[in-house]
Amino acid sequence: MLKFLRKLIQQNILLKVSSVNTLRISVRIVCGLITSKLIAIYLGSSGMAILGDLRNFLNSVQSVGQLGINNGVVKYSAEYKQQKTKLNSLVSTSLKISFLTSVVLSLILFIAAPELNNLVFTNAFNFTRILRFVALALPIFTLNALTISVLSGLGDYKKVIYINIATNVLGVLLAAFLIIRMQVFGALLSLVFSAAIAFLIIAVALRKNRGYLITVLSLPIKYSILKKLASYGGMTLFSAIVSPWVYISIRQHIIAVDGLEKAGYWDAMLRLSDYYLMFTTTLLTLYVLPKLSTMQTRKEFKTEVFSFYKTILPLFGLGLILVYFLKIWIIKLVYNADFLQMNTLFIWQLSGDFFRVASLVIAYQFIAKNKFWAFIITQIISLSVIYFSSTLLVSEYGFVGASMGHLVSYIIYFLMLLVIFRKSLLKPLKGSTS
């Protein structure tokens, strides 16, 4: 049996990348579980909700600082892998323009921190200092993310994975120290300081490439490259800016209807969801997006999607079933008995996440083939559905309604994608037309 599995992995590149990625995901999940346990013990569910707001805000400003071009960088790094001049121009242009943008945004955030605090955390909390730390760290976040995007596009999976492993291990040690010493403020601070840790690890990992980086960064910004990245920036920025604020709004609605503690249970469910989604979402970024970017025909696209559905999606589905039946034990292990009320969220969240993964492998074609308006329209519909369905269902059923809205939105999103790509996925292909 083991011999058969080994042979299968060697013959299937998707499974091969998955097996290499498993170590990284395992380490990240363990680190995440440790952090979640510390938050549950020292901060409780209310602290979980506050951290959720900062995480959403961080995701939003990081994407703005990076101009949302990460997926474009992955695509063109893969495309220019054998074209050294174009690749160098891509690296130089993307790093320079994003770094300059993040510096400007950093200054704005630093000055506007008091107003942003009221917007993100409401008047009940004052974390202005944390938001100013976010502002100062933003350029570092930008450099880290774009460097990883270039390595992903070039197919340097192992280096990306090892960088992430080291970052997670050191990050959880820092988080443990700060949470124990400073409670909520320390937990918020650890999210920001993780950028500095990642930067140092990337610098060490790329120390042999210093000469190359100096040469590349001396190249001028290429406006032809910027033009190509612009539509990717538009796609990612829309989702990255709007989505976190949708979740902040849903969280604030839960607080208003059901209280801060219940909002913390919902956020704890989102954290668990992040853990078990890591494997598939990372695989999509590391392997599927670069692969789709190089494909020229509908036949290749259909083959890749159904390969994912036959190899990865069934394993993911089985994992979700296992999580559901072990939910009480998982809640006690990851958090503590005080969080048992969140067990009612599992069926809705797990079902929604299955449709989410099934959707994402198709939706990455929007990014790979630069289908700007199709991406924007489907995102507007999806985010509108999750916001309105969640708020309506929260008003009716309490905090459980937010996970119900999650399921509704991803079923609708999946059906939309099947309609849009019906010719490629559902109709038999007579020839290899693009």
Is residue 155 within a helix (H) or strand (E), and if so which, with residue range? Answer: none
Q: Which two tokens stand for residue 130?
A: 């944390």
Cα dihedral sign, 170-174-179-181: positive
pLDDT at 19 over 70: no
Domain that holds residue 174: 2-425
**Considering the domain boundaries, does residue 297 fall inside one?**
yes
Residue 311: per-residue pLDDT = 84
**433, part of any domain:** no
**Contact yes or no for 183/47 (Cβ under 8 A):** yes
The tally of domains found in the chain comes to 1
Taking only the tens place, the pLDDT of each residue in 315-330 is 899 999 999 999 999 9
What is the per-residue pLDDT across 238-292, written as a single tens digit (0 to 9) for each?
A: 777 788 889 999 999 999 999 989 999 999 999 999 888 887 777 776 677 667 7
Q: Which residue has the tokens 């976190």?
A: 244
DSSP annotation of 222 reads P
Residue 189: inside a domain:
yes
In a domain, 397, yes or no: yes
Residue 414 lies in a domain: yes
Residue 220 · residue 95 · CB < 8 Å: no
Q: Rounded to a whole number, what is the distance in angstroms from the first to the last CA of the chain? A: 40
> Does residue 434 lie in a domain region?
no
Residue 417: alpha-carbon gap to chain centroid: 20
> Could you tell me the CA-to-CA distances from 401 to 34, 120, 428 in Å, in that order?
28, 22, 40
At 103-153, the pLDDT tens digits run: 888 999 899 989 888 888 766 678 888 888 888 888 888 777 777 766 665
432 located within any domain:
no
- Which has the closest alpha carbon to 176: 194, 163, 164? 194
Burial class from Cβ neighbours inside 10 Å (0-12, 13-18, 19+) for residue 387 reads: buried
